[in-house]
A and B are shown apart, each in its own frame.
Chain A
Amino acid sequence: MFVHIDGPWSPLLGRLALSEIPYNNPILIGTFAFAALLAVVLVGLVTYLGLWRTIWRDWLTSVDHKKIGIMYILIGLVMLFRGFMDAVMMRAQQAMAVGPHSAGYLDSPHGYLTPYHFDQIYTAHGTIMILFAATPLLVGIMNILVPLQIGARDMAYPYLNAVSLWLTAAGAALVMASLFIGDFAHAGWFGIVPVMELPYSPGVGVDYWMWAFQLSAVGTTLGGINLLATIVKMRAPGMTWGRLPIFTWASLSANLISLSTFPVVTVALALLALDRYFGTHFYTAGLGGNLMLYNDLFWIWGHPEVYFVILPAFGMISEIVPTFSEKPLFGYLGMVLASLGIAGVSWGVWLHHFFTMAASPAVNAFFSITTMAVGIPTGVKVFNWAFTMFRGRLRFELPMMWASAALFFLLVGGLTGMMNAFATNDYMVHNSVFVVAHFHMMLLLIVYAIFGGVNYWFPKVFGFRLEQRFGKMFFWLFTAGTAVVFIPMFTLGFMGMTRRLAYVAFPQWGPLLDIEVVGIAIYVLSAVFLVAQLYVSFRDRAKNRAGLDAWETSRSLEWMTHSPVPFYNFAVTPEVHARDERAWRVARGVDTVRPERYEDIHMPRNTAIPLWLGVLSFGLAFGLVWRMWWLVEVCAVAIIALVVIRSFDHDTDYTIAAKEIERMERAIRDVPSGRPAADDVIGGVPAFRQGV
């Protein structure tokens, strides 16, 4: 039944053998030693501090949307670091391997990475940065913020939320495992057909890539369902569509995309699995296979995915800019339409990822126009942010610095994007580093929005603000690194340099590649300041305590509850009166009132089942990669059993009595706001529940 593969296979270990452990590669051994050391230190520290119980009870088994969001962000940050190290290695290799006379080390003809190893690194870099860094970071932020912004207690399906998290974690773990056991795909993050078919990728690399991708895709699809249901069904009273905070609108648009397109990539990869495991011919070159089918299916997901990650970033910018301009967002309706417009257009542009496939001019013309049409809503957003700042009172605190810098990335990315959307320009630069530099501009826009968002909402989640001085140094160094890496990269694009070169044949590209290495060094330096910022913030957390509204001029609902947010979010579900509810209440002096009476709160119970589902999914995928059929069978049966068992569990929720809520609320001492306001007034002025 299964396709025959050359090489050893045993019933117990499948294709896994000692020779698959890269113990003779000093780079990987060094990485492994570093990772092992880090793990030992972490485990030791947790044991020493006696935190295992807390971690198990409050985090690993939690279904609290805020904690799940934080864990998503932690996964994203770890994988961001891994992806960044891949980038460092790529830059070093390309700078070393210039011209036929460049030296070679470690079995490589030039540089220190063999082409096959280099190819795995750029594949890992792309896969990790898109699926395991950007996506978890943004899903994490949406997880934390959306329920708070709409006045909900949790997500619509808290248990499903945890399942999504642990599936994503399992995918990330699988990518990490491929570092030390076997190898990773070399066929690019989007899977170049037919390179990833068995004749050209006989190893386990593509299988690792494919199953890690599947786990993350399933996790994100479930997350999309969850966020959509939450936004549609869980809004607080008075939160009409016209009053929905703009970040929530962006999340809604993004998750419309994820729900409608992630299933496509799941199917596309399932067909690839049939090719690689059963010897079918969906994407092979011959025997009736159609490799363009894969390109179509993948990019029908792939391009909307780009907007899935950029829309929440736009949403964050749209929240940060009004707060620090001290005025409402300009053109709210236009912004909403633009977000939905970007989501809508995203389904009709996928073919521009293979403009060079020599389609008929009518086909390329259609997709060239649709791709350019993306520029309309995006342009609207830039103008609207500019007019939000217009007539404002701008404070360039850290979140605003990141957000306003992101605007300039959108200008450069927009210019270069319009160049690529013009199909005949694309013929010139399609696989050149010009395109690489272009999409890094857009992805850096996301990174800038994420750093802005993290600085902005950190006090809401943790109760203290991040330190500013090191934070600003980090910002400037990071920006300098970006300039020094990507300006030469754009230039190299005009010089004709193409992507994915393990060896650089033309020596005239060398000097600019050297400059890029300098840029990478600046990035590394900037990371030191990020660590310093986090350390100092944590050390001085008592000094930097934040009140309800950490920035004094925030506008939306999440700033109306305590910082850090209690696990039940709002003591009493707030009644919404205006688009910018917080600003509306501040303007009327009713912002800090306590409710007249408390009510019972209905909450979901913690459960360890999602964690076990994640562990078993990892086992399932690992078994599939190495073709250990017994492991696949055990894990598949266990997963089904667990899901069935859970469905018979009726004790999944509990109620907190109103008295208990009142006791907890009174124990919280909010830091008073700097603004003169009626703090701690109980009753009297209109309370949360009553209309005004």
Chain B
Amino acid sequence: MPMNSLRPKGWLRLLSLLPLGLLGGCAHRRGGDEFWMLDPRGVISATQDHYLALDVLIMLFIIVPTGFFIVWVMRHYRRDGGRGRHDARWDHSYALEALVWGIPILTVGALSYYSVKAIYAVNPYHPTVVVRAARAAHVKNPLDIDVISTDWQWVFIYPKQGIATVDRLVVPKGIPVHFRLTSATVVNDFYIPQLVGMIDVMPAMRVRQSLLVSRAGTYEGYSANFSGAGFSWMNFETRAVSRAAFRAWVARVQGAQAHLTYAAFEKVARPTINVHGRVAYFSRVQSGLFRHVVAETAAGKTYPTPMAMTENMTRYLKVQARRDAHNRD
């Protein structure tokens, strides 16, 4: 795969572990699969990791010698047992002051250059790394997915396929996925650590994000921005599958009983804490649903948090379970 060339080289990835080693945090490592941040499986996350390693390397180049110098000074010039010569008048040196200002300025200059480069590479509206990888692999037809966050679930709409899911994202491997994201209520962050960084999902506004998965697998996605009482349960499993498997999955969901009209969406969007991680599937999604939700939210539509939830959580979860059971009948 051409996009593999974008993954950081082995030694670079090893070095990116250095700060962890420095902080003594390598105790609980099992094959690296738990360090989602350092185990990228998508083009965007691989690019981010590449620049992370670069940034850390440049910084360590400055910070480690400084740290050693400070420790040496503290030992060498200590009053009790130190060997350094005390000079009570020395408080200035042009050469050193040039160094003192020069080193940080050069470092910040270099880091700024790479930072700007990286920002354009993964720009959510036009990620050059995704565009290039897709061009190299001759992918013509990217997949569009509309994402709407509610209190506290994720609705994924596949407009061309006419299907939608709640709290489950399925994408084909090796094909660029373009998201449009909005929220029906409050701000959330759309985040799949191994695939793509955080992006704010905001009510009455639309943002974009892109994704190109390089390896099939199951990845965890969740909201990263606090959105209320059900925030901790706002997870969605992301499955990256082969193109054939994706087509089969779409066909299956197209046979789902439930349809997603705006009225049905309003029911989905009622404050719900998905404690059991239930997934829902919808076929025949009302066309233009995403734009309709954005417009309604802009016109003042809200889904208020019930007071009951704030008082007794266990009772509220029971009420919610009864409501959902009733709703299914």
Chain A residues engaging chain B, CB cutoff 8 angstroms? 6-7, 104, 107-109, 114-116, 119, 183, 186-188, 192-195, 199-203, 284-287, 291-292, 325-332, 334, 354, 356-358, 360-361, 364-365, 368-369, 372-373, 375-380, 382-384, 386-396, 404, 407-408, 411-412, 414-416, 418-419, 421-425, 427-432, 434, 483, 487-488, 490-491, 493-496, 498-506, 508, 511-512
- What are 5 residue pairs bridging A and B, where the CB atoms are less than 8 Å apart in the complex? A104-B314, A368-B119, A428-B197, A429-B37, A502-B229
Across the interface, A356 reaches (CB within 8 A) one of B47, B59, B121, B200, namely: B200
Given A286-B300, A291-B202, A415-B56, check contact A424 B88 (CB 8 Å): no
Q: Given A422-B114, A503-B233, does the pair A391, B60 have CB atoms closer than 8 Å? A: no
A187→B20 CA distance, assembly (Å): 31
Is the pair A376, B105 in contact by a Cβ cutoff of 8 Å?
A: yes
B51 an interface residue at 8 Å Cβ cutoff?
A: yes
Most B CB contacts (10 A, CB to CB) among A6, A415, A500 go to A415
Per CB-CB distance, the 4 closest pairs between chain A and chain B, nearest first, are A427-B197, A379-B104, A491-B25, A285-B203
Chain B residue at minimum C-beta to C-beta distance from A120: B310
Which residues of B are found within 8 Å of A395, using beta-carbon distances? 78-80
Q: Which residues of B contact A386 (CB under 8 A)?
A: 66, 69-70, 73
Q: Say whether, besides A386-B73, A415-B60, A425-B48, A199 and B204 are in contact (CB < 8 Å).
A: no
Partner pick for A394 among B74, B122, B199, CB 8 A cutoff: B74
Given A285-B203, A358-B200, A376-B104 in contact, is the A116-B229 Cβ separation under 8 Å? yes
Cβ-defined contact, B199 with A356, below 8 A? yes
B161 at the interface (CB under 8 A from A): no
Contact between chains at A325 and B77 (CB < 8 Å): yes
Question: Does B8 interact with chain A (Cβ within 8 Å)?
Answer: no
Q: Give the docked Cα–Cα distance between A188 and B187 (Å).
A: 13
Q: Does B165 belong to the interface (CB within 8 Å)? A: no
A192, A354, A483 pick with most chain B CB within 10 angstroms: A192
Q: Given A200-B186, A494-B35: A387 and B112 within 8 A (CB)?
A: no
Closest residue to A372 on the B side, CB-wise? B108
The answer for the CA separation of A414 and B151 in the assembled complex, in Å, is: 37
The smallest C-beta distance from A594 to any residue of chain B, in angstroms, reads: 27
Contact with A along B78-99 (1 / 0, CB 8 A): 1110101111111111001101
Give the segment of B219-227, B243-251, B258-266 that binds chain A: B219-227
- Which residues from chain B sit less than 8 Å from chain A, CB to CB? 19-20, 23-25, 28, 34-38, 45, 47-49, 51-52, 55-56, 59-60, 62-63, 66-67, 69-70, 73-74, 77-80, 82, 84-93, 96-97, 99-101, 103-105, 107-108, 111-112, 114-116, 118-125, 151, 183, 185-187, 189, 191, 193-194, 197-200, 202-204, 207-209, 220, 222, 224-233, 235, 275, 297-305, 307, 309-315, 317
A494-B25 contact, Cβ under 8 Å, with A115-B232, A419-B56, A427-B197: yes
| A424–B119 CB distance below 8 A | yes
B313 A119 Cβ-Cβ under 8 A: no
Residues of B within 8 Å of A379, CB to CB, are: 62, 100, 103-104, 107
Q: Which residues of B contact A285 (CB under 8 A)?
A: 183, 185-186, 202-204, 297-298, 302
Determine how close the nearest CB of chain B comes to the CB of A459; give it in whole angstroms. Answer: 20
A189 to chain B, nearest CB (A): 11
Cβ-defined contact, A109 with B275, below 8 A: yes
Whether A354 touches B200, Cβ cut-off 8 Å, given contacts A369-B115, A431-B224, is: yes
- Residues of A with C-beta under 8 A to B225: 192, 356, 431
Across the interface, B77 reaches (CB within 8 A) one of A7, A361, A390, A416, namely: A390
Residue pair B305, A202 in contact (C-beta under 8 Å): yes
Determine whether the beta carbon of B74 is less than 8 Å from that of A389.
yes
Docked complex Cα distance between A508 and B34 (Å): 7
**How far is it, in angstroms, between the C-alpha of A412 and the C-alpha of B56 when the chains are bound?**
12
* Contact assessment for B185 and A425 in the assembled complex, using a CB-CB cutoff below 8 Å: no
Known: A285-B297, A327-B90, A496-B193. A422 touches B207 (CB 8 A): no
A328 to B85 Cα, complex, angstroms? 15
A425 touches which of B55, B89, B228, B315 (Cβ 8 Å): B55
Task: Evaluate whether A358 and B208 lie within 8 angstroms (CB atoms) in the complex, with A386-B73, A505-B233 already known.
Answer: yes
CB distance from A417 to the nearest CB of B (A): 9
* CB-based nearest B residue for A388: B91
* Distance in Å: Cβ of A185 to nearest Cβ of chain B: 12
Q: Are B59 and A419 neighbours in the complex by a CB distance under 8 Å?
A: yes
Which residue of chain B lies nearest to A395 when distances are taken between CB atoms in the complex? Answer: B79
**A431–B108 CA distance with the chains assembled, in angstroms:** 24
Q: Which residues of A contact B122 (CB under 8 A)?
A: 424, 427
Instruction: Report whether B233 and A424 are in contact in the complex, using a CB–CB cutoff of 8 Å.
Output: no
Residues in chain B near residue A195, CB distance under 8 A: 186-187, 226-228
When the two chains form their complex, are residues A200 and B97 in contact, meaning their CB atoms are under 8 A apart? no
Cβ contacts under 8 Å, A373 to chain B: 108
* Cβ 8 A contact of B187, one of A193, A203, A494: A193
Q: Do A116 and B224 form a contact, CB below 8 Å, given A368-B112, A494-B37?
A: no
A491 to B191, alpha carbons, bound, how many Å? Answer: 18
Residues on A with C-beta less than 8 A from B111 are 372, 418, 421-422
Instruction: Output the nearest chain B residue to A193 by Cβ-Cβ distance.
Output: B187
Chain B: CB-nearest residue to A392: B77
Contact A428 B187 (CB under 8 A): no
Q: In whole angstroms, what is the CA distance A412 to B66 when docked? A: 11
Given contacts A365-B115, A494-B38, A495-B37, contact A411 B52 (CB under 8 A): no
Bound complex: CA A422 to CA B85 (Å): 41
In whole angstroms, what is the CA distance A364 to B118 when docked? 11
Q: Is the CB of A488 within 8 A of B25?
A: yes
Known: A379-B100, A503-B232. 18 other contacts (CB 8 A): A115-B232, A116-B229, A194-B185, A195-B187, A285-B185, A286-B297, A287-B300, A384-B100, A391-B85, A414-B63, A419-B56, A423-B119, A425-B52, A427-B198, A495-B34, A502-B229, A505-B222, A505-B232
Q: A372-B108, A431-B224 are in contact. Are A424 and B121 (CB under 8 A)?
A: yes
Interfacial chain B residues near A203, Cβ < 8 Å: 307, 310
What residues of chain B lie closer than 8 Å to A496, measured between beta carbons? 36-37, 193-194, 220
With both beta carbons as reference points, the residue of chain B lying nearest to A363 in the complex is identified as B119
Q: From residue A442, how far is it (CB to closest CB) to chain B in Å? A: 15
